[in-house]
Chains A and B, each alone.
Chain A
């Protein structure tokens, strides 16, 4: 079976800075693949090279057996690309936006009308289809933004952080929709800051940091990388900064980062056995008002591998 997407050795340099270094992965038909990385990791740059917006300095992209560099039109026709920002016309209605991109991407005139209605139903916007886009809520815009990439029934859907700034309800409806598409056999490349989305949606995940993939595998494979490491969420009251510095020195703690004004996240081996040591370390500097020990998950893996939190 040929992969829906095969990319290899992708590199991109902006002036002196390397944005993407030697990135490569494959996505099979019907497979959901996650690309996880902090801000500036190179996710959007990678995607831009996959959809032909950016010429890679090195590397190849093959979509459904078609080489992107050699036959850009044929390769692009198989991709549905959803940009990170809403990329639609604010003074057109939702339906007009869809019709425009459908026509532009070569949908036959007859099929276009029906397909636009289908997509409107799919993203749950049939009742608002004739309102101008700038009257839509953030979540509705996100949904129609995805819809515009589905018109030509792509083999591969590429979503670049599609749920940024969306309320939980809209987010759920987006994820449900995407899940259905994958279940129907579409290949998916998904990037997000939200670990739980990737955990829920993606069969395989790559962790990208500073332009390079640092780990790749199924969710279980990645979590195993961390081994017996737990994540500890502490809520502190007092001099959090000093407490954080002290916590770095506790034996068994491998990572310590501040996640908000009064909270700290630790990655530690044998987490729950370290709790007494942790509490006594911060004694006199800050009071521990809440503790949560979380068994290893993708987020812990991520922190372990990149030394940073995802949501910053």
Chain B
């Protein structure tokens, strides 16, 4: 079982390596494009300066604490400027006018609701023109949300344990479950350095993974036309050997392609993509999804040319709606919803999150899960397709 598989894989690998164009597409083009975009749009070290609007409709102690923490932070000194604005509309106007880069909005009653263990939601306004400020504002809000969750849990637990409502606040704070103090454990400006080089590097890696793995399924269809597939299938091997043998090589080459793009981004721009284990696992899940999707195309295509065309269209559509080409937040809301169906969106968001937060594998469990789910569904459908068509 294994030897035929390795035989098919060895030939496929050899053919792909001999094919200079394929190598260029797998390695040179994504690196070149990521670098080009990074240089043109990202820049190595633009003066990091962000003005973030601060809308305090609550007036309570929570926003005050956040403000205290932000202005006291030494990392943010000279980088982050807070501007008070009276309301959400004014913040939006200022944002549209380019006076501020992003805004954080505390709704009325926020402190009270958090104090009562009911949680609360902080709003963020961002603009496509100032992704940097958006990243900072989001990073701050993420920290607040975490704090609110912890606090909510603590209050609920205390209430359940019989602490009278009037004393809960004091009880919780005395027991150390986060007062309205915001500790910026991770420098939110690290997120600012999710400079566009990482963003475009991730995008190109996500896009080219499709092309690279797609080429192996295309060669499967060429073999069908050439008759060599039937010749293999007439031999004493399992029906799936030719398909699996090619898929393994396509998958491996796509992994090489995304990792080279990643490495080049780190080397050229000196920008970190975050925890290597998490980045690698996320890339692995993306390539798996790309493999499954291109396999699905191959299982239904009539000719290699048709498969080629469809894979090309799917790759670009997924790349566009998935934010591999233009930042997701610059797409209209409807399209951002659409993005959830593309592996690229989950991968790019996950990767920029990792680069921005310095968090580990656990933080990208959701995107990895979704990517694997996409892969499982596509693999299942392509198995059905192959049974009906190629292996019929």
Contacts and interface: CB of A to CB of B under 8 A. Distances in A.
A83 B230 contact: yes
B228 interface: yes
A79 B236 CA distance: 9
Contacts of B238: 73
A294 to B, nearest CB: 37
Most buried by B among A72, A88, A91, A105: A105
A87 B3 contact: no
Nearest to A78: B236
A86 interface: yes
A161 to B, nearest CB: 13
Contact of B234 (A55, A76, A88, A103): A76
Most buried by A among B226, B231, B235: B235
B333 to A, nearest CB: 47
A86 B227 contact: yes
B228 A89 contact: yes
Contact of A53 (B7, B8, B234): B234
B235 A85 contact: no
Interface in A148-165: 148, 152
Contacts of A74: 236
B236 A76 contact: yes
Nearest to A97: B228
Interface in B198-243: 226-228, 230-238
Nearest to A96: B11
Interface in A57-84: 72-74, 76-77, 79, 81, 83
A105 B241 CA distance: 12
At the interface, is chain B mostly helix, strand, loop or mixed? helix
Contacts, number: 66
B233 A77 contact: no
At the interface, is chain A mostly helix, strand, loop or mixed? loop
A52 interface: yes
B392 A87 contact: no
Interface residues of B, number: 20
A104 interface: yes
A87 B235 contact: no
A25 interface: no
A52 B3 contact: no
B8 A104 contact: yes
A255 B329 CA distance: 79
B371 to A, nearest CB: 33
Contacts of A73: 236-238
B252 interface: no
Contact of A104 (B7, B15, B18, B226): B7
Contact of A51 (B11, B227, B234): B234
Given A85-B227, A89-B226, A52 B234 contact: yes
A5 to B, nearest CB: 14
Contact of A101 (B15, B231, B233, B392): B231
Contacts of B233: 52-53
Closest 9 CB pairs of A and B: A87-B227, A77-B236, A81-B234, A51-B234, A87-B231, A76-B236, A105-B235, A73-B236, A103-B7
